[in-house]
Amino acid sequence: MPWHIKKESILGSAIPTNGVEYYVGNNQWTNEYDKRKVYSNEADANAQKNTTVTTNLGITYQPKWWANATVVSE
């Protein structure tokens, strides 16, 4: 069963796909369903979604675009 990551757009429903964006890889998002990155299992998609960043000061955080994302199978 294929999995992908999606989130609510910061533009809300102003974009053509009712405010939904899909992760395409390389820290990029699209509102085109067919261009989304597909994962073969849920664990890989969750690992990507749980990505964190560590600053030069040693502070680790999860970027907001990941915090609002969900892993789904559609």
Query: What are the pLDDT tens digits along the chain (74 aa)?
Result: 799 999 987 765 555 556 789 999 998 999 899 999 999 999 999 999 999 999 999 999 998 888 789 999 97
For the chain, the residue count is 74
Whether the Cβ atoms of residue 61 and residue 73 lie closer than 8 Å to each other: no
Residue with tokens 């990551």: 5
